[in-house]
Chain A
Amino acid sequence: MANISLIPCGDFKTAYGADTTIFPTVTSRNFAIAGVLLLALCPLFMDRYWLSLLIQIGYLGIAALGLNILVGFTGQISIGHSAFFGFGAFSSAWLSNSYGVPVALAIPLAGVMTTAIGMIFGVPAARLKGLYLAIATLAAQYILQDFFARADWFTGGVAGTIAEPFSLFGFAFDTDGKFFYVALVYMVIMYVLATNLMRTRDGRALVAVRDHYLSAEIMGINLTKYRTMSFGISAFYAGIGGALYAHYLQFVSVEGFTILFSIQFLGMIIIGGLGSIMGTLMGTAFMVLLPEAMQFITTSLSGTAIDTALNLKDAIAFLREMAIGVVIILFLVFEPDGLAHRWKQIKAYWKLYPFSH
């Protein structure tokens, strides 16, 4: 990943620690804090529709971050992420329904349970690379999907299962405006955790495995350990995201976690930028807003000649799928480093404006 970060003249680092800080400059830190505060004010002036989109970006963003740790940072590929997302959703609902575990506790527990499942599928993955791994995770997707449909005690079978709303100390977060804060807190925590993970020895080991696994092994990095660990971490994030999804919608159906959903997750991290944490969030936002944009285009075209010729209104579901496919291909061909790279270029452009060299 090309790293264009412009640092003001005379800013010399005197310690190695300064090179791995979360925020390179004070301004960037202040902007991040201001951004979170601004988001926290959103429920005051946004309507339900926009809030629900933001909440979606929140829980999908958490799950997508897990996938980015696996694909973008460790270089493993997974085409079964939505199955883990679904597993998290069902386990959280199952824990709170069957054992009366409070929802606030069930969400992290669901993450742990999903980690266990992810590790099981991670065991063959530790020995596989590239294509073989892609196919193994594809198999995991179908096996888990089949399991959801079969395990009535766990998922409620075809009828689906009901999940209780999130509550803390007797205060129920049952509306969009309230649940928004739950999603926001979880998102901030998970993103900070991931950023910190990448600054540790383990995080650097993951990147080393991605960049050249033979050299990494020669340097004493245990490949099996880190590959399995990466699968576990990614499943943990998927589980947390899925659990939030379950308690937000308060209903989980077995049909939602298809391969199409997995591909959407992959699309998010490709659009956002492989190996970029903030990029993941941008990609998720892009992917969530894409169907809305498609909807907007079709409604604004309704009644025109194009609409009557192509019968757009009935085709909106297919148009969405096609748009996802096209966007993934276009990004891979024209902007393989994703939105994060584009964002850096924009920043660099304005820093140097009007002298671009």
Chain B
Amino acid sequence: MTLFLQLLVNGLIVGALYGVVAMSFVLIYKASRIVNFAQGEFLLIGAWTCWWLLTSWQLPFWIGFPITLAFMMLFGIILQVVVLRPMIGEPIISVIMVTIGLSLFFQALMKWMFGVFAKPFPPIFSSPTVSVLGLEVQTVYVVSLVISILIMAGFGWFFKFSRMGLAMRATAFDQQVAQSLGISVRQVFAASWAISAMVSAVAGVTVGVVNGVSSALSFFGIKVFPAVILGGLDSVVGAVIGGLIVGVLENLAHYVDSQWLNWGNMYEIAPFYVLIAILMVKPYGLFGTKDIERV
């Protein structure tokens, strides 16, 4: 029973991280209609940058982390301007393939620069675990949960009240109308990539602190898809819920597997079975809006 609770808590915390990544995925999709298969690489690059600053330059975390964020912001903008901007108006297959190509490129580049083995972060918190309701939980996880909730609240505020957020929603709704109202669509696209890269880097650093940094981080970008499909592609709230569900689901599958089935590897595969099942029944995801096409 303790194992079950432990897995449930882990699931919720990891799920919150999935939710954060899924949210930044949805952000890009909503603003620029680009499906970003390189989302996992954002986590990877962010985590490696922070790791590099902290180990090679011996910077304290509170300096290294903001530098990482600033770097990721620049990185997101440059990526959008150099690679994705020429792809505006191309068919969806081409756009998907460009992001797949990017993901391949950056994954290999990171392996080349930092090696294939996981490298641990220098310790950031004084005590590695804290006890929450009698369960031992890693401090980083608690902090990450708090950060996730903060980011989600921040997103909520951003889209509801800030000028840029409103501009983004307008652009997502109709690019031409937004442009005619004086919104710079280019700026909106660039901003969405910058924010997405930054938020993903936060998630990447968090996971890196817990598990060490390695190319396995980019698998987060794949795990985002079940979450996003569950939540519906164009709903930020849905992405968070989807992320939580996937996090809990994979831990539950792991529990069921370790207790009764002993198939192994259910932790990674279960979300994909669920994904296929959902798409069979509801081709637009659970909360996604159905496209109505006019002839």
Give residues in A with beta carbon < 8 Å to B.
71, 75, 77, 79, 123-124, 127-128, 130-132, 134-136, 138-140, 142-143, 146, 149-150, 214-215, 218, 260, 263, 266-267, 270, 274, 315, 318-322, 324-329, 332-333, 336
Contacts and interface: CB of A to CB of B under 8 A. Distances in A.
B97 A270 contact: yes
B109 interface: yes
B177 interface: no
Nearest to A260: B104
Contact of A328 (B98, B106, B112, B280): B98
Given A77-B93, A328-B101, A329-B102, A139 B112 contact: no
Q: Looking at B263, B273, B276, which has the most chain A CB atoms within 10 Å of its CB?
A: B276
A263 B106 CA distance: 14
B284 A319 contact: no
B101 A132 contact: no
B174 interface: no
A78 to B, nearest CB: 10
Contact of A136 (B83, B112, B279, B295): B279
Nearest to A213: B293
Contact of B86 (A131, A266, A333): A333
B92 A131 contact: yes
Interface of B: 35, 83, 86-87, 90, 92-94, 96-98, 100-109, 111-112, 222, 225-226, 228-229, 233, 263-265, 268-269, 272-273, 275-276, 279-280, 283-285, 293, 295
A322 B273 contact: no
Contacts of B86: 333
Given A131-B233, A134-B96, A214-B295, A325 B276 contact: no
B96 A131 contact: yes
Nearest to A259: B222
Per DSSP, chain B at the interface is helix
Contacts of A214: 293, 295
Contacts of A327: 101
Contacts, number: 126
Contacts of A215: 295
Contacts of B226: 139
Contacts of A321: 104-105, 107-108
Nearest to B277: A124
Contact of B285 (A132, A263, A274, A332): A132
Contact of A142 (B90, B233, B272, B293): B272
Given A71-B93, A328-B101, A332-B94, A142 B269 contact: yes
Nearest to A333: B86
A20 B238 CA distance: 50
28 contacts: A77-B92, A124-B283, A127-B283, A132-B283, A132-B285, A134-B96, A135-B228, A135-B229, A135-B279, A136-B275, A139-B225, A142-B222, A142-B272, A143-B276, A146-B265, A146-B269, A218-B295, A266-B100, A270-B94, A270-B97, A274-B93, A315-B112, A318-B109, A322-B104, A325-B108, A328-B97, A328-B101, A333-B83
Interface centre among A71, A75, A132, A274 (most CB of B within 10 A): A132
B75 to A, nearest CB: 16
A139 B285 contact: no
A124 B87 contact: no
A136 B276 contact: yes
A286 B279 CA distance: 36
A329 B276 contact: no
B86, B92, B272, B273, most chain A CB atoms within 10 A: B272
A326 B106 CA distance: 10
